[in-house]
């Protein structure tokens, strides 16, 4: 019997924030690795049938992850995450935005600030993600584009990755 893992997804339009809290049945070391190593990120970040493909990855303060979400027909949607601060196995903050294949920010699609925190509880790890937007319209565009559904589907992929990780 599979135990129910914590999941909270809230949208705070007044403060232009999306808050996602999700529990994973794995140690903090495994969960941290899955969020910070391209070989693991590529296995779960995109909701199926999409795939994530990394062009560049430097998980360090001042570094970035440039990647494409690749659809079943080969279509690509590029994004970049610029890492601002990192405290190993505790948290990282980043600026996430849509871009072209060279990392140039999109003029049309919204970006957001991310604060991703990790907390171990007995045999599990809780990941807390707080997205902050500059404008309410940016938050609303993110939701309209299916962020909630896609992110929650990606978490199911992560469950599978963690289950098979040594």
Q: Is residue 55 a contact partner of residue 156, using CB atoms and an 8 Å limit?
A: no
How far is 115 from 93, CA to CA, in rounded Å? 4
Residues 51-87: pLDDT tens digits? 999 999 999 999 999 999 999 999 999 999 999 999 9
How far is 36 from 88, CA to CA, in rounded Å? 10
User: What Cα–Cα distance (Å) separates residue 22 from each residue in 59, 101, 120?
Assistant: 22, 30, 12
Residues 123-156: pLDDT tens digits? 899 999 999 999 999 999 999 989 999 999 999 9
Mutual orientation of helices 147-164 and 28-36 as an angle, nearest 10°?
Answer: 120
């Amino acid at each position: 019997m599979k135990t129910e893992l914590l999941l909270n997804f809230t949208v705070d339009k007044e403060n232009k924030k999306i808050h996602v809290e999700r529990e994973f049945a794995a140690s903090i070391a495994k969960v941290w690795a899955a969020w910070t190593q391209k070989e693991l990120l590529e296995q779960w970040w995109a909701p199926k049938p999409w795939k994530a493909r990394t062009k560049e990855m430097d998980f360090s303060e001042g570094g970035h992850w440039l990647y494409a979400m690749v659809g079943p027909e080969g279509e690509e949607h590029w994004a970049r995450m610029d890492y601002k601060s990192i405290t190993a196995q505790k948290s990282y903050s980043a600026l996430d935005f849509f871009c072209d294949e060279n990392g140039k920010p999109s003029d049309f699609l919204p970006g957001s600030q991310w604060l991703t925190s990790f907390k171990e509880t007995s045999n599990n790890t809780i990941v807390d993600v707080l997205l902050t937007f500059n404008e309410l319209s940016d938050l609303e565009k993110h939701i309209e584009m299916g962020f909630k559904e896609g992110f929650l589907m990606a978490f199911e992929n992560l469950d599978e990755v963690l289950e098979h990780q040594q």
